[in-house]
């Protein structure tokens, strides 16, 4: 079993603990109908996730004890889909694997997850909307943690899909948690449906990949199995009709790669499927932090990195990923500039940062993508939670125009918030600086067509990021207070459950960059192999051959990155502190553009007009009125004038009439068609 990995029965408990607690909650609500005391229920949940984190640390220790090239722990539990039949038997195990990539993900999920669980205790106690809801909330939260851990630990695509759907479902339940607003419920459905479009891509990709592997006699769905036989399918092509682009044939791995990327787009909110994420902010703030910033939305990035061997062999698909990521990063950053809801700014910022990660992954910088994923989890989790603290302090006010000057009031929150803002804006030596720098280097060095443009977009986005984050900072914490005086007197730091996790996250937001310190900085301060994250992850990823970049260039790139972040900050200072009237004047001058941005490029409206409404109209009008009414009467009419009048007069009368004889008529038509086809 050496080539597969080292057995470890520990792994199964990492996801299982949260599941068990979720089951406990479910039984106590649904079956016993006797909810546990909220505080106790919450502590159970936190304990489960913390324990998972401890187990993950132990597993990491075991993993590090192994030689670098065979770092893989497996825990094979049972055969899930077995006993395949026919020549292409499929077998899928319920089996967990911990390699460096999933180890990083597991640690991030369990650690940030436990912080957010603890935070939720304090946050939900403040929520008086639904006093029975706390246990339900923690039930969903634990279920989510379970699904996410299955997603990252699963050793095959089918198990990954189980986690994939599970996190989507829990996200949906949690967004709609405060269901007294029907708007929230609507947002939940939207998230789920957009995610399902992505799942369509995932499933098709899975089936195509499996089919290709069976063609060469190695049906497999486990990552190890796929990777082992992957070389055999790289050259495969599929023929397409001449009218399709790039006819007559497509390289199969590109098609598969794009299918999976469609799945990633849905889950990780990339263009064109990003519409759901900003709306998902309707859920409670800890949910936004956990699911819609730190963990679930990064699942797409994780998947692309997990399938790095596939994307390394599919340059066109990789280029699509890189460009989609870059464009998403830019578009979302521009939208973030105009938003006034504090959580919406952070939401668009998340979309934008996810775009960065895909930019890196598409450029072959898988390590950079995972690095940024990790640092982003810390600082974006922190920012959301801190924003949640602000919102709590402000009595559920989220509009930044009604904040300002909170610096003096929130004496602890301000420091952690500041750490988060510095980290995301990319100032050294905060974590965001290193990970963003890695991404920009990867973009510059890649072979993707137009890679210098990608670099440029990345730089521009970095400037925009600094601008909108400091805009948020200045509007919220600095300047004159615009808070109504009756509220202002009550504004104070929230309780310890809320604040303490923030300090922990802030600490890591500041320092997490050091685990992936790029070699150029390591050289400066004299550390060999300073980029320990990259070395740790190296065996997992397919090695590309990027352009060589001189060290001096890298220093210049770092310099320019800081410079553009500084200029963004300066601009924000200028506009929102020095001359507060300017933004409105700009908005007035550029009203068309501003309104476009404010309305998020009218994307929602476009979707409504192009997809949702036509579907409703189609099923309502076409199926009912045209097919039923039209076909019945249309055939009867037979082109005579009388018939046309009859259609008009009796048109709707016979639509899905409920008349048995009309059904019989359709059966006759069907029978004639079938027999006619057979006799052709």
Partner 1 sequence: MTAETILFYLFGGLAVISALGMVLNTRNTVASVLSLVVTMVSLGAVYLLLEAYLVAAFQIMVYGGAIVVLFLFVVMLLNLSTDEFPPSKQRLIKSAFVIAGVAILAQILIALGHDPLFATPPEAVPEGYGGYRQVGILLYTDYVLLVEMASLLLLAAIVGALILAKRKID
Partner 2 sequence: MIPAPDLNLSVLLPIILVAIGSMTILMGEVLLSRADTVLGREVTESFIGTVLAGTAIFFFALTLWASGVAFAGGGVQVFNPDNPMYQLDPFSSFVTAVLALSALLSCALSITYLSELRINHGEYYALIMLSASGMMLMVAAVDLIAVFLGLELMSIPIYVLAGFDRRKLRSNESALKYFLIGSFASAILLYGMALLYGVSGGTSFEALRAGFDADNPMALVGLGLVVVGFAFKISMVPFHQWTPDVYEGAPSAVTAYMSVTVKVAAFATLIRLLAMAFGPLEASLETIFWVLSALTIVVGNIMAIIQENVKRMLAYSSIAHAGYLMIGLVTGTIEGYSAMIFYLIAYTFMNLGAFGVVVALANRGNDCERIASFAGLARTRPGLAAVMALFMLSLAGIPGTAGFMGKFKIFMAAVNSGDIWLLIIGVLMSVVSVYYYLRIPVLMYMREPEDESHRTEIASGEGAVLVVCALAVLALGLFPNRVPTLLFGDLDVLDWANRSVGMFFGG
Partner 3 sequence: MLPMDHVIALSAILFTIGVLGVATRRNLIVILMSIELMLNAVNLAFVGFNRIWSQVDGVAAIDGQIFVLMVIAVAAAEVAVGLGILLAMFRNRDSVNVEEVNLLKW
The pair of structure tokens assigned to 277 is 């994420």
Contact 95, 159 (CB under 8 A): yes
Decide if residue 669 touches partner 2 (CB under 8 A). Answer: yes
Q: In terms of Cα–Cα distance, which of 258, 272, 356 is closest to 314?
A: 258
Does 658 help bind partner 1 (rule: CB under 8 A)?
no
Site size with partner 1, rule: CB under 8 A: 18
| Number of helices (H), then strands (E), in the chain | 30, 5
Of residues 14, 21, 29, 597, which one binds partner 2 by CB under 8 A?
A: 29
The residue (of 1 and 660) whose beta carbon lies closer to partner 3 is: 660
Decide whether 109 or 632 has the Cβ nearer to partner 1: 632
Q: Which stretch, 49-57, 394-402, 430-438, 669-677, contacts partner 2 (CB under 8 A)?
A: 669-677
Applying CB under 8 A, which of residues 664, 673, 674, 675 lies at the interface with partner 3?
664
The nearest distance, CB 620 to partner 1, in angstroms, is: 24
Residue 638 interacting entry, from partner 3, partner 2, partner 1, none, C-beta within 5 to 8 Å by type: partner 1
Could you say which of 166, 284, 374, 458 contacts partner 2 (CB under 8 A)? 166
Q: In the numeric block, which tokens belong to residue 414?
A: 């301000």
Residue pair 218/151 in contact (Cβ under 8 Å)? The answer is: no
Contacts of 606 (CB under 8 A, 6+ apart): none
Do 177 and 284 contact (CB within 8 A), yes or no?
A: yes
Q: Of partner 1, partner 2, partner 3, none, which one does residue 203 interact with (CB within 5 to 8 Å by kind)?
A: partner 2
Which x/- pattern, by CB under 8 A, does the window 635-654 give for partner 1? xxxx---xx--x---x----
From the centroid of its chain, how far is CA 265?
Answer: 8
Alpha helices in 65-131 (DSSP H): 100-125
With b meaning 16 or more CB within 10 Å and e meaning fewer, what string describes 475-498?
A: bbbbbebebeeeeeeebebbeebb
Distance of CA 221 to the CA centre of its chain: 23
By CB under 8 A, which span of 53-61, 150-158, 585-593, 663-671 interacts with partner 3? 663-671
Query: Is residue 86 at the binding interface for partner 2, with CB under 8 A as the rule?
Result: yes
Task: Find the binder of partner 1 among 66, 89, 648, 668 (CB under 8 A).
Answer: 668
Which is closer to partner 1, CB of 78 or CB of 642? 642
Tokens for 353? 């940062």
Could you tell me which residues come within 8 angstroms of residue 585 by beta carbon, excluding any fewer than 6 positions away? none
Among 124, 158, 159, 163, which Cα is nearest to 143's? 163
Under the binding rule (CB under 8 A), the answer on residue 679 touching partner 2 is yes
Sketch the per residue contact string, 620 through 659, with partner 3: x for CB under 8 A, - otherwise.
Answer: ----x-------------------------------xxxx
Contacts of 474 (CB under 8 A, 6+ apart): 572, 573, 576, 577
Among 181, 180, 150, smallest CA distance to 167 is for: 150
How far apart CA 170 and CA 175 sit, in angstroms, is 8
The C-alpha angle with vertex 329 and arms to 327 and 332, in degrees rounded to 5, equals 100
Instruction: List the x/- string, 594-633, binding to partner 2 by CB under 8 A.
Output: ---------------------x--xxx--xx---------
- Owner of token pair 């159970």: 44
> For tokens 């796929």, what's the residue?
226
Site string for partner 2, 169-188 (x = CB under 8 A): x---x--x--xx-x-xx--x
For partner 2, which is the closer residue by CB, 543 or 622?
A: 622
**Kindly report the CA angle at 74 between 68 and 76, in degrees rounded to 5?**
165
- The binder of partner 2 chosen from 68, 82, 248, 484 (CB under 8 A): 82
> Measured between alpha carbons, how far is residue 431 from residues 158, 414, 422 in Å?
34, 19, 9
Query: Could you say which of partner 1, partner 2, partner 3, none residue 66 binds, taking C-beta under 5 to 8 angstroms by partner kind?
Result: none
Does 456 sit near partner 1 (CB under 8 A)? no
Question: Which listed range, 10-18, 45-53, 531-539, 661-669, lies at the site for partner 3 (CB under 8 A)?
Answer: 661-669
- What are the b/e assignments for 83-114, b being 16+ CB within 10 Å? eeeeeeebbbbbbbbbbbbbbbbbbbbbbbbb
Number of residues that bind partner 3 (CB under 8 A): 10
Q: x/- string (CB under 8 A) for partner 1, residues 600-639?
A: --------------------------------xx-xxxx-
Interface residues with partner 3 (CB under 8 A)?
A: 624, 656-661, 664-665, 668
Interface residues with partner 2 (CB under 8 A)?
A: 26, 29-31, 33, 78-86, 88, 90, 158, 161-162, 164-166, 169, 173, 176, 179-180, 182, 184-185, 188-189, 192-193, 196-197, 199-200, 203-204, 207-208, 210-211, 214, 615, 618-620, 623-624, 656, 658, 660, 662-664, 666-667, 669-671, 674-675, 677-679
Interface residues with partner 1 (CB under 8 A)?
A: 632-633, 635-638, 642-643, 646, 650, 665, 668-669, 671-672, 675-676, 679
């Amino acid at each position: 079993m050496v080539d597969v990995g080292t057995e470890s029965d520990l792994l199964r408990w990492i996801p299982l603990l949260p599941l068990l607690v979720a089951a406990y909650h479910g039984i106590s609500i649904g079956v016993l109908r006797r909810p546990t005391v909220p505080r106790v229920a919450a502590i159970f949940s936190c304990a489960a996730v913390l324990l998972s984190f401890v187990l993950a640390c132990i597993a990491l220790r075991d993993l590090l004890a192994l030689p670098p090239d065979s770092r893989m722990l497996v825990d094979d539990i049972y055969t899930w889909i077995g006993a395949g039949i026919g020549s292409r038997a499929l077998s899928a195990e319920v089996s967990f694997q911990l390699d460096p990539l999933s180890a990083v993900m597991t640690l991030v999920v369990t650690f940030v997850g436990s912080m957010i669980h603890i935070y939720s205790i304090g946050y939900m106690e403040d929520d008086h909307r639904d006093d029975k809801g706390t246990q339900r909330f923690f039930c969903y939260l634990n279920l989510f943690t379970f699904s996410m851990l299955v997603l990252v630990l699963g050793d095959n695509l089918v198990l990954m899909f189980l986690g994939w759907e599970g996190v989507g479902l829990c996200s949906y339940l949690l967004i709609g948690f405060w269901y007294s607003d029907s708007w929230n419920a609507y947002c939940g459905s939207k998230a789920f449906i957009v995610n399902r479009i992505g799942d369509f891509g995932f499933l098709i990709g899975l089936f195509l990949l499996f089919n290709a592997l069976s063609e060469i006699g190695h049906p497999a769905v486990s990552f190890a199995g796929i990777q082992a036989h992957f070389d055999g399918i790289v050259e495969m092509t599929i023929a397409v009709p001449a009218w399709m682009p790039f006819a007559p044939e497509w390289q199969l791995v590109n098609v598969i790669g794009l299918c999976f990327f469609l799945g990633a787009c849905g889950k990780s909110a990339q263009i064109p499927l990003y519409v759901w994420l900003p709306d998902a902010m309707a859920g409670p703030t800890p949910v936004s932090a956990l699911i819609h910033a730190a963990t679930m939305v990064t699942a797409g990035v994780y998947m692309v990195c997990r399938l790095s061997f596939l994307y390394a062999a599919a340059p066109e698909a990789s280029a699509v990923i890189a460009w989609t990521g870059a464009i998403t990063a830019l578009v979302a950053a521009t939208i973030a500039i105009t938003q006034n809801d504090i959580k919406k700014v952070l939401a668009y910022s998340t979309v934008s940062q996810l775009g960065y990660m895909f930019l890196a992954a598409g450029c072959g910088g898988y390590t950079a993508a995972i690095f940024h994923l990790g640092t982003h989890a810390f600082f974006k989790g922190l920012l959301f939670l801190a924003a949640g603290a602000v919102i709590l302090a402000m009595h559920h006010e989220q509009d930044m125009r009604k904040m300002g000057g909170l610096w003096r009031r929130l004496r602890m929150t301000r420091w952690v918030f500041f750490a988060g803002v510095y980290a995301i804006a990319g100032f050294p030596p905060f974590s965001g600086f290193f990970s963003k720098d890695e991404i920009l280097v990867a973009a510059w060095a890649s072979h993707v067509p137009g890679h210098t443009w990608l670099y440029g977009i990345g730089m521009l986005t970095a400037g925009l990021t600094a601008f909108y984050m400091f805009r948020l900072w200045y509007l919220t914490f600095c300047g004159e207070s615009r808070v109504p005086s009756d509220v202002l007197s009550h504004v104070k730091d929230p309780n310890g459950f809320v604040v303490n996790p923030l300090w922990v996250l802030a600490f890591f937001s500041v320092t997490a960059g050091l685990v992936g310190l790029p070699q150029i900085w390591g050289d400066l301060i004299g550390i060999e192999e300073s980029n320990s994250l990259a070395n740790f992850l190296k065996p997992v990823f397919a090695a590309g051959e990027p352009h060589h970049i001189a060290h001096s260039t890298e220093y210049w790139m770092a310099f320019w990155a800081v410079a553009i972040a500084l200029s963004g900050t300066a601009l924000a200072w200028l506009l929102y502190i020095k001359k507060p009237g300017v933004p409105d004047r700009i908005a007035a001058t550029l009203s068309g553009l501003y309104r476009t941005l404010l309305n998020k490029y009218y994307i929602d409206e476009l979707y409504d007009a192009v997809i949702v409404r036509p579907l409703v109209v189609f099923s309502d009008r076409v199926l009912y009125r045209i097919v039923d009414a039209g076909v019945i009467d249309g055939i009867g009419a037979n082109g005579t004038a009388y018939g046309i009048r009859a259609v008009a007069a009796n048109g709707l009368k016979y639509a899905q009439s409920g008349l048995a004889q009309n059904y019989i008529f359709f059966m006759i038509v069907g029978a004639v068609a079938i027999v006619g086809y057979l006799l052709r």
